[in-house]
Amino acid sequence: MVNKTQIRIALRNCGLINPERIEEYISEKGYMALGKVLTEMSQEEAVNIIIDSGLRGRGGAGFPTGIKWDYARKSVSDQKYVVCNADEGDPGAFMDRSILEGDPHSVLEAMAICGYCIGADKGLVYIRAEYPLAIERLNIAITQAREFGLLGDDIMGSGFSFDIEIRYGAGAFVCGEETALIHSMEGERGEPSLKPPFPAESGYLGKPTNVNNVETLANIPVIYLKGADWFSGIGTEKSKGTKVFALAGKVNNVGLIEVPMGTTLREVIYEIGGGIREGKKFKAVQTGGPSGGCLTEKHLDTPIDYDNLIANGSMMGSGGMIVMDEDNCMVSIAKFYLDFTVEESCGKCAPCRIGNKRLNELLGRICEGKGTEADLDRLRNLGEVIKDTSLCGLGQSSPNPVLSTLDNFYDEYISHVRDKKCPSGVCKDLMEYFIIEENCVGCTACARACPVGAITGERKEPHLINPEICIMCGACMEKCKFDAVILK
């Protein structure tokens, strides 16, 4: 996908160099940033460049990376750690995997730079065990970097030593939260803990630890080569640089895109994404995975950055962007995300453990046609309480899919609870089998197949299904050779 609105910073080398050959990375100015930092800058100067660039964490919350580094730098300790968070568990996002598979050295180089800045000599990559190719390439990259003296003792004769080890995540979405990730590396259950103390003071094994996401790290080397001013010249006032999105769902062009912050959803969906598949109508776009919300047509011209997304009830998250068309039911989408959150909640704090379960049950009732209008108020109240009172980012953002669909698609909820109808024809319990008169030839096949005798009609005359008797087994639809039986 080549388009003038895209700028490749984090993905600059992906697909262009052979990720298994360090020489190719070096020929693209690889490890030059590390050399520059080690030979020309003090720790403080190096950190200030990242602060000036305005880079914010790409993992979801958008905390300023330079500030995070500065906290870790100022912590006093004999041992510090740099951790790369590659535990990409967000359904619908795969940019971290692509960076690690396509350009692993950029992440290693950034970790070494971070190590120098904060005074750490050990780096850990916490990566999902489900990404075998990324793990293989990362291992090759680490071995090659050691052979070239770019990792290990006394890098480039500077006296600075840094080495990197890989840890495999065991599959828990909550481990994307930095304190949970650290507990998981320590061999504990991946449950988050209250901050402060922040990992910058007390992290892995109680030592100061700096945790950054893969995409954040991939931005680092270029910032040193091209300068903080260059980087902060891209993007919006408070969100600098670019963001990688995983565009998926009902658009013509799916895949990874990298656009400057401040690009509008319309540009992303219609220009880069090539519009909605099969000429259908755009309905919503879900950003930020299970933590994000659904934005609708009225948000199409909103520039995408951290603050605008939060103001509209969604969030950047890790950058999944799922486009939905008129055939998708927003209530069932909200339930889909809640199913995931309920499954992945670690269970430590009550609002998230119990609250999300209750939210999910309410949504389930609505999808089954047993909901009432009072349930809609309960959904909103409960959602807001969970948001306000949960311990970590997972619980604080998990009601977003529900609250944002309530805000933007209230009419669909009303159809479900008042009219007991699913306008998009997704919620099976709210649908009925129906015979299209024009297609029915009166062959009686359906009536003979019906186990409860719900279908009546004379031979060679259109038949009729009595919804009061129908048990929704679908036998009639299977038997009909004329496509006369439909669900609606």
3-state SS of 30-58 is: CCHHHHHHHHHCCHHHHHHHHHHHCCECC
Round to the nearest angstrom and report the end-to-end CA distance of the chain.
Answer: 38
Amino acid sitting at position 148:
F
Q: Which of 127, 209, 217, 130 minimizes the C-alpha distance to 176?
A: 127
Among 14, 25, 30, 90, binds another protein (CB under 8 A): 90
Among 25, 69, 81, 94, binds another protein (CB under 8 A): 94
By three-state DSSP, how is residue 127 classified?
Answer: strand
* Angle at alpha carbon of residue 330, lines to 326 and 336, rounded to 5°: 125
User: Residue 432 Cβ, how far from another protein at the closest point, in Å?
Assistant: 19
Tokens of 454: 């719900």
Q: How far apart are CA 467 and CA 325, in angstroms?
A: 29
**With binding defined as CB under 8 A, does residue 60 bind another protein?**
no
Among 53, 75, 144, 184, binds another protein (CB under 8 A): 184
Neighbours of 279 (CB within 10 A): 8
Nearer Cβ to another protein, position 132 or 196?
132
Among 250, 299, 416, 463, binds another protein (CB under 8 A): 250
Among 23, 44, 170, 461, binds another protein (CB under 8 A): 170
Q: How far apart are CA 313 and CA 401, in angstroms?
A: 9
Per the CB < 8 A criterion, the answer to whether 246 and 256 are in contact is yes
**With binding defined as CB under 8 A, does residue 248 bind another protein?**
yes
Considering just the CA atoms, what is the radius of gyration of the chain in Å?
A: 26
Neighbours of 426 (CB within 10 A): 16
Q: How far apart are CA 356 and CA 397, in angstroms?
A: 11
Nearer Cβ to another protein, position 103 or 375?
103
Q: Which of 348, 359, 350 minimizes the C-alpha distance to 381?
A: 359
**With binding defined as CB under 8 A, does residue 474 bind another protein?**
no
**With binding defined as CB under 8 A, does residue 186 bind another protein?**
yes
**With binding defined as CB under 8 A, does residue 173 bind another protein?**
yes
Of 105-134, binders to another protein (CB under 8 A) are 129-132
**With binding defined as CB under 8 A, does residue 97 bind another protein?**
yes
User: Residue 237 Cβ, how far from another protein at the closest point, in Å?
Assistant: 30
**With binding defined as CB under 8 A, does residue 255 bind another protein?**
yes
Per-residue x/- mask for another protein, residues 335 to 374, rule CB under 8 A?
Answer: -xx--x--xx-x----------------------------
Contacts of 142 (CB under 8 A, 6+ apart): 108, 151, 164, 166
User: Residue 199 Cβ, how far from another protein at the closest point, in Å?
Assistant: 16
Task: DSSP for 205-236, please give it.
Answer: GGS-EEEEEHHHHHHHHHHHHH-HHHHHTSB-
User: Which residues lie across from 243 on neighbouring strands?
Assistant: 259
Q: How far apart are CA 106 and CA 117, in angstroms?
A: 16
User: Residue 113 Cβ, how far from another protein at the closest point, in Å?
Assistant: 26
Among 221, 289, 351, 355, binds another protein (CB under 8 A): 289
Nearer Cβ to another protein, position 110 or 185?
185
**With binding defined as CB under 8 A, does residue 322 bind another protein?**
yes
Place of tokens 């892995």: 204
User: Could you tell me which stretch among 9-17, 293-301, 317-325, 370-378 binds another protein (CB under 8 A)?
Assistant: 317-325
Per-residue x/- mask for another protein, residues 418 to 457, rule CB under 8 A?
Answer: ----------------------------------------
User: Could you tell me which stretch among 178-186, 223-231, 306-314, 349-357 binds another protein (CB under 8 A)?
Assistant: 178-186
Nearer Cβ to another protein, position 205 or 225?
205
- Site residue total, another protein (CB under 8 A): 44
Nearer Cβ to another protein, position 289 or 395?
289
**With binding defined as CB under 8 A, does residue 188 bind another protein?**
yes
**DSSP 8-state code for residue 271:** I
Q: How far is C-alpha 46 from the geometric centre of its chain's CA atoms?
A: 30
Q: How far apart are CA 87 and CA 246, in angstroms?
A: 16
User: Residue 150 Cβ, how far from another protein at the closest point, in Å?
Assistant: 26
Q: Point out which residues bind another protein (CB under 8 A).
A: 88-94, 97, 129-132, 167-168, 170-173, 184-190, 205, 246, 248-250, 254-255, 286, 289, 320, 322, 324, 328, 336-337, 340, 343-344, 346
